[in-house]
Amino acid sequence: MDTLVAQLQRQFRDYTISLYHQGFLDDQFTELKKLQDECSPDFVAEVVSLFFEDCEKLIGNMARALDQTGNVDFNLVGSSVHQLKGSSSSVGAKRVKGLCVTFKECCDSQNFEGCVRCLQQVDIEYKSLKAKLQDLFSLEQQIVQAGGRIPQVDI
Amino acid sequence: MNSGSCSSLMEVGYDHHHHGHEELHVLAVDDNLIDRKLVEKLLKISSCKVTTAENAIRALEYLGLGDQNQHIDALTNNNLKVNLIITDYCMPGMTGFELLKKVKQESSNLKEVPVVIMSSENIPTRINKCLASGAQMFMQKPLKLSDVEKLKCHLMKCRS
């Protein structure tokens, strides 16, 4: 008979694996988890939260810059993309980082339509990741509340 | 001298100003908030005391090289004594490379402080330029725990 904890742990494991396999996360996320310990039990959630705030801020900057019709400062957009690429790389947000590479190319070649498209995609992608990680953290909380331990998942 | 383990800093007599303090005090410089938080945590987990700065100017001020001409000798003032500077390369205003040069051009003991450059971009000319200007090491971002462990081993070997 499968206990609640066992079911939740299995869900957690399966969901984690799917996030890696579908390319949402890469091994830098695994590295982040290594930094979580009793001294900072919410480290991953905190960093990830900072990341999503950063996404929102940078996307806002880029949207405003791209809105200056006829007078778009591509350097400004490019430097925001550079920041976002760095942050996404550091937290293991693989898809966001990948989009930043394309986005940077559009900035460098001053491709306005390309930039607008990339911006839309980055916006969708970070929000999608945010929702998925919220689900993942929620599963963790449920496991702990049910008296279980969060399993170590080897990808 | 313990050449094997990376965890025991007490046995490394590398800095005669050390005054018996056990922890490596690292000044970490990065304009990206997430990267600052990450490098801080990586270093703290590796038993380092960490001070962060969000740009090179703030870092220089902390080191006593700011415009205010604070004549604080950062190496003898126990609170400020920095054993390692780790800095991002790409920063607005003064780059990590310029920070490296400023430190290495110092006439005080500050020029002996190892400076490590981090970058998300793997550009050989950039790496060589930094090493040629006295950088201890060049590290590829994003940093991992194993990178910091390697860094500590490298620093300890350089002093034994």
Give tens-digit pLDDT for A40-59. Answer: 999 999 999 999 999 999 99
B32 neighbourhood in chain A, CB within 8 Å = 83, 86-87, 90
Are the Cβ atoms of A54 and B141 closer than 8 angstroms? no
Are the Cβ atoms of B120 and A83 closer than 8 angstroms? no
A-B C-beta contacts closer than 8 Å: 49
Q: What percent of chain B has pLDDT over 70?
A: 76
| Residue of B33, B91, B119, B139 to mutate for A, most A C-beta atoms under 10 A | B33
pLDDT of res. B157: 73
Mean of the per-residue pLDDT values for chain A? 96
Mean of the per-residue pLDDT values for chain B? 82
- Integer angstrom CA distances of residue B11 from B21, B31, B78, B116, B136: 11, 34, 19, 22, 21
pLDDT of res. B159: 61
CB-based burial label for B159 (10 Å; 0-12, 13-18, 19+): exposed
| More confidently predicted of B1 and A134 | A134
> Is the pLDDT reported for residue A82 higher than 60?
yes
B34 neighbourhood in chain A, CB within 8 Å = 47, 50-51, 54, 86-87, 90-91
Confidence of residue B67 (pLDDT cuts 50, 70, 90): low
A87 neighbourhood in chain B, CB within 8 Å = 32, 34-35
Cα A5 to Cα B123: distance, rounded to the nearest angstrom: 48
Tell me which residue of A95, A102, A64 sits closest to A81, measured CA to CA: A102
Average pLDDT over residues B85-95: 96
Cα A110 to Cα A133: distance, rounded to the nearest angstrom: 33
Does A113 lie at the interface with B, CB-CB under 8 angstroms? no
pLDDT of res. B10: 37
Confidence of residue B72 (pLDDT cuts 50, 70, 90): low
> Is the pLDDT reported for residue B9 higher than 50?
no
> Is the pLDDT reported for residue A1 higher than 80?
no
What is the interface pTM, i.e. ipTM, of the complex?
A: 0.92
> Is the pLDDT reported for residue B12 higher than 90?
no
pLDDT of res. B17: 44
pLDDT of res. B114: 95
> Is the pLDDT reported for residue B79 higher than 80?
no
| More confidently predicted of B66 and B40 | B40
Does B2 lie at the interface with A, CB-CB under 8 angstroms? no
Are the Cβ atoms of A47 and B142 closer than 8 angstroms? no
Are the Cβ atoms of A90 and B33 closer than 8 angstroms? no
